[in-house]
Amino acid sequence: MFEIPKLKYTDSGNFFLMAGPCAIEGEDMAMEIAERIKTITDKLQIPWIFKGSYRKANRSRLDSFTGIGDEKALRILQKVGQEFDVPTVTDIHESGEAAMAAAYVDVLQIPAFLCRQTDLLVAAAETGKVVNIKKGQFLSGDAMRFAVDKVRESGNEKVILTDRGNSFGYSDLVVDYRNIPAMQATGAPVVMDITHSLQQPNQSSGVTGGKPALIETIAKAAIAVGADGLFIETHPQPSIAKSDGANMLPLDQLEGLMQKLIRIREAVR
């Protein structure tokens, strides 16, 4: 894989991990989560990128939590990266945000619903940062080669692809594991977004539901198929998280899950 600044243990043979809270809710919470994940990933020698959205732009209801302020949240992401010597990733939603976010983080993430937005992909590519493109819930893995081409043809070879399931009816998602090798055929590392693939969107309440009991199942299958990395949102108390709590992994379950997945990785290698 191309070099990601501050990414450690890339020679361990383990999958890499993108993990953190859904949204940056505050400095204390971000630092608590980062400290715990760092302890786990150092112990198990898992390359780790801290994930946190500085703003949640895609919400069902106007009264949903969207963030604590762009600059404030980005500075927290920057502090996490500096204090724990770890790369960081956050979403961007419009082309004008690319340069702003790139000043604070190492990886720019393109949300699934926006993976066909040419201006957004080009703007992210032109920052020179690693670009993680989430596969749209409405696309096949094969179709993601066009998103990859947009970044590469803009002069940036540092592309990651992330699957997060496909729409299955109006209020559910299903994971088609054929998408992992299909996207790997582009030459980009492929990540399975475990927690978002277990969402139940478009609920009548306007609050997305989820099936967190299946996190281990989806993660085990992804590693067995050969995913290069995993994306997991985690929180000390998902029930009080301000975004996506219904499908997050409780932080105290992360280490046990990683231990199981490392054993599967060793077996399939």
CA–CA separation, 267 and 173 (whole Å) = 28
Q: Which two tokens stand for residue 192?
A: 């399975």
Percent of the chain with pLDDT over 90: 84
Task: Name residue 89's beta-bridge partners.
Answer: 51, 107
The mean of the pLDDT values for the chain is 93
Q: Note the pLDDT tens digit of each residue in 183-220.
A: 999 999 999 999 999 977 655 455 556 777 999 999 99
CA 124, 125, 131, 132 torsion: positive or negative? positive
Q: Could you tell me which residues come within 8 angstroms of residue 251 by beta carbon, excluding any fewer than 6 positions away? A: 33, 36, 37, 234, 235, 236
Within-domain flag for 197 = yes
Query: How many CB atoms lie under 10 A from the CB of residue 85?
Result: 11
**Residue 48 domain boundaries:** 16-268
Within-domain flag for 154 = yes
Within-domain flag for 103 = yes
> What single letter denotes the amino acid at residue 122?
V
DSSP tag of 209: E
The alpha carbon of residue 14 and the mean position of all alpha carbons in its chain are separated, in whole angstroms, by 17
Residue 51 belongs to a domain with what CATH number? 3.20.20.70
- List of E strands, 52-179: 88-91, 107-110, 130-134, 159-163, 166-167, 173-174
Q: Note the pLDDT tens digit of each residue in 76-124.
A: 999 999 999 999 999 999 999 999 999 999 999 999 999 999 999 999 9
Within-domain flag for 158 = yes
Is 25's pLDDT higher than 80?
yes
DSSP tag of 88: E
CA 225, 226, 229, 234 torsion: positive or negative? positive
At residue 204, the pLDDT reads 46
**Count: domains in the chain:** 1
Within-domain flag for 7 = no
Determine phi and psi for 213, rounding to 5 degrees.
-65, -15
| CA-to-CA separations, 25 to 5, 70, 192, 224, 235, in angstroms, rounded | 25, 11, 24, 34, 11
Q: Note the pLDDT tens digit of each residue in 59-80.
A: 556 656 677 999 999 999 999 9
Within-domain flag for 3 = no
pTM, full prediction: 0.93
Angle at the Cα of 238 (from 237 to 239), degrees rounded to 5?
A: 90
Instruction: Check if the beta carbon of residue 178 is closer than 8 Å to that of residue 150.
Output: no
Within-domain flag for 70 = yes
Instruction: Check if the beta carbon of residue 254 is closer than 8 Å to that of residue 234.
Output: yes
Within-domain flag for 10 = no
At residue 202, the pLDDT reads 55
Q: Which of 232, 191, 240, 239 is nearest to 214 (CA)?
A: 232
